[in-house]
Amino acid sequence: MHSESGPETTPEQEEAHAAWIERLARALTFGEPIREMSADVVAQLEAHVAAKKPARAREEIGAPLGQFLLEFTQLDEAISVVLATLLNRHEPDKVIRVVRQMTTSQKLDAMEGAFPDTWEDGRDIIRRIRELNTYRNVVAHGTFTTFRVERDQLLVGQWFAIWRRGKQHWVHTSAGELDHRRWEVNFAAAVLYTLVLVLIEPEASLEDVDLFRVVGVAIATMPPADHAKDNPLRAVFMFDWFTPTKAYMDALDSGASDLGRPSPSEGIRQELRKRGRTPR
């Protein structure tokens, strides 16, 4: 039977529809039962959405997110080049195609296996790139949201919601966070490409390489135009995982002196002091 407003529904259909709405609500609130949310929280959520705050947040974060993912591809290529060079120093081009088909994690595993066990600089850069790769996976595969509902409270912010081992986790993010991570990606790629210059030397032994001193020399010998503020190798002092060695500082000053340029190390020392750190 049909009513004037449309087909009549049975109690069973109405119950099924209500259950479907409940499931949809749980999905949209990342698992929080909608019926357990108070009227105040529902009103706050409606106001949050009505004010177009989610849309503005997505707009604000879109560019740095895309830039981070784009530039991570350059880091992945740097990893491929280093690994190919480690596998065949004389003809890396013969293995690069195979290497490029590996995942980033697989390449890092292989690279770590090729590094000497006692080479701490190599372990440091591998460890940090692994952390960046984990963050990259969160950004690439997580669900961006500007709200969370927890214990009948509406939390407003910017997160990626991801699932690990059957449990949901929240990773806080922002445009500034993504920009900082992008700098770390750029620096890590620059360090790896600098490492290639070491590896192509026939007699080079990684156990004897102070990787960050090599980076310091690379900075000091850059053309003046490359000493711009946004050069990734000039931004090393930004990162908590990298404390420059005294040898690194000496290399900076020595290289600059040979080129008749002012010492760049004092500015880095000042930045380190601001962060409560000193060269090791």
Q: Is residue 225 scored above 50 in pLDDT?
A: no
Helix count (H) and strand count (E) of the chain? 10, 5
**Given this model, what pLDDT does residue 5 score?**
55
Average pLDDT over residues 94-111: 94
What tokens appear for 233 in the block?
């190798």
In Å, what is the CA distance from 74 to each residue of 114, 118, 121, 222?
A: 21, 28, 21, 20
184-193 pLDDT per residue, tens: 888 888 888 8
**Given this model, what pLDDT does residue 143 score?**
85
- How much of the chain, in percent, has pLDDT values that exceed 70? 67
Report the distance separating Cα 217 and Cα 274, nearest Å.
24
Q: Is residue 40 scored above 70 in pLDDT?
A: yes
Average pLDDT over residues 33-37: 59
**Given this model, what pLDDT does residue 265 score?**
67
**Given this model, what pLDDT does residue 241 score?**
44
**Given this model, what pLDDT does residue 76 score?**
95
Mean model confidence pLDDT for the chain:
76
Report the distance separating Cα 158 and Cα 175, nearest Å.
9
**Given this model, what pLDDT does residue 183 score?**
81
Q: Is residue 56 scored above 60 in pLDDT?
A: yes
Comparing 256 with 105, the larger pLDDT belongs to 105
**Given this model, what pLDDT does residue 48 score?**
75
Instruction: Identify the helix (H) or strand (E) that includes residue 164.
Output: strand 153-164
**Given this model, what pLDDT does residue 221 score?**
55
pLDDT band at 264 (very low <50, low <70, confident <90, very high): low
123-167 pLDDT per residue, tens: 888 998 999 999 999 999 988 888 777 777 778 888 888 887 778
Average pLDDT over residues 184-206: 81
**Given this model, what pLDDT does residue 187 score?**
81
Report the distance separating Cα 44 and Cα 56, nearest Å.
17
Q: Is residue 64 scored above 50 in pLDDT?
A: yes
Q: Helix, strand or coil for residue 204?
A: coil
DSSP state of 102: S
Report the distance separating Cα 118 and Cα 113, nearest Å.
12
